[in-house]
Structure 1
Amino acid sequence: MIENILLALSGTGQTRDMLKMLMDIPMFQRASVTVLHVVPPQVTADGMTEKLEEGGKMLAQAVQDLNLEPTRINPMLQQGDPKDVVCRVAEQIDTDLIIMGSRGLKRIQSILENSVSQYVFQLSSRPMLLVKDDIYVKKINRVMVALDKSESAQQCLKLALALARDIKGGQLILVHTNPDLKIKPGEIAANPNEDPVLIPAINEAKKLGINYKCVAPEGKPGERICQVAEDLNVDLLILGSPDRRPSIAKGLPDLDRLLGQSLSDYVRVYANCPVLLVR
Structure 2
Amino acid sequence: MIEKILIGVAGRGLCEQMLKMLMEIPSIQKASVTVLHVVPEQVSADAMAAKLEEGGKILAEAIQTLNLDPKKVTARLKQGDPKTTVCEIAEEINADLIIMGSRGLGRLQSILENSVSQYVFQLTSRPMLLVKDDIYVKRIKSIMVAMNKSESAQNCLKLALFLLRDIKGGQLVLSHVNPPDPTAKPEADPVLAAAVAEAKKYGVATRCITAKGKAGEEICRIAEESNVDLLMLGSPDRRPSIAKSFVDLDRLLGNSLSDYVRVYANCPVLLARSVAEA
**Superposed pair shares fold, TM > 0.5:** yes
Where does 1:193-232 land on structure 2 (aligned, <5 Å)?
193=188, 195-232=189-226
| Partner deviation per Cα, 1:195-251 (whole Å, 9 max, x = no partner) | 111111011122322111000011111110000000010100011111000011000
In structure 2, list runs of 5 or more residues that go unmatched. Answer: 274-278
Percent identity, aligned pairs only, is 68
**Contact 1:221 1:263 survives alignment (8 Å):** yes
**Shift of residue 165, structure 1, vs aligned partner:** 1.2
**Contact 2:83 2:117 survives alignment (8 Å):** yes
Matching of residue 27 in structure 1 with residue 27 in structure 2: yes
Change (3 A) 1:63 1:182: same
Could you tell me which residue of structure 1 aligns to residue 187 of structure 2? 192
Secondary structure (helix, strand or coil) at the match of 1:215 reads strand
Could you tell me which residue of structure 2 aligns to residue 138 of structure 1? 138
Aligned equivalents of 1:276, 1:71: Cα separation in 2? 27
Secondary structure (helix, strand or coil) at the match of 1:216 reads strand
- Given the two structures, how large is their TM-score scaled by the length of structure 2? 0.95
Could you tell me which residue of structure 2 aligns to residue 256 of structure 1? 250
**Contact 2:108 2:252 survives alignment (8 Å):** yes
Aligned equivalents of 1:31, 1:67: Cα separation in 2? 14
**Shift of residue 64, structure 1, vs aligned partner:** 1.1
Matching of residue 167 in structure 1 with residue 149 in structure 2: no
Give 1:77's aligned amino acid. L
Give 1:60's aligned amino acid. A
Mean alpha-carbon deviation: is it higher for 31-40 or for 162-171?
162-171
Matching of residue 275 in structure 1 with residue 266 in structure 2: no
Matching of residue 2 in structure 1 with residue 9 in structure 2: no
Secondary structure (helix, strand or coil) at the match of 2:135 reads coil
Aligned equivalents of 1:32, 1:260: Cα separation in 2? 35
Aligned equivalents of 1:202, 1:211: Cα separation in 2? 9
| Partner deviation per Cα, 1:50-78 (whole Å, 9 max, x = no partner) | 11111101111111111111110000000
Give 1:192's aligned amino acid. E
Secondary structure (helix, strand or coil) at the match of 2:174 reads strand
**Shift of residue 13, structure 1, vs aligned partner:** 5.0
Change (3 A) 1:81 1:191: closer
Could you tell me which residue of structure 2 aligns to residue 186 of structure 1? none
In structure 1, list runs of 5 or more residues that go unmatched. Answer: 184-188
Could you tell me which residue of structure 2 aligns to residue 107 of structure 1? 107
**Shift of residue 270, structure 1, vs aligned partner:** 0.5
Could you tell me which residue of structure 2 aligns to residue 177 of structure 1? 177
Aligned equivalents of 2:154, 2:233: Cα separation in 1? 10
**Contact 1:13 1:133 survives alignment (8 Å):** no
| Partner deviation per Cα, 1:97-133 (whole Å, 9 max, x = no partner) | 0000000111111010000000000111111000001
Could you tell me which residue of structure 1 aligns to residue 236 of structure 2? 242
Residues paired across the two proteins, number = 273
Secondary structure (helix, strand or coil) at the match of 1:130 reads strand
Secondary structure (helix, strand or coil) at the match of 1:176 reads strand
| Partner deviation per Cα, 1:139-173 (whole Å, 9 max, x = no partner) | 01110001111111111111111212121111100
Give 2:26's aligned amino acid. P
RMSD, aligned α-carbons: 1.3
Secondary structure (helix, strand or coil) at the match of 1:119 reads helix
Could you tell me which residue of structure 1 aligns to residue 276 of structure 2? none
Could you tell me which residue of structure 2 aligns to residue 17 of structure 1? 17
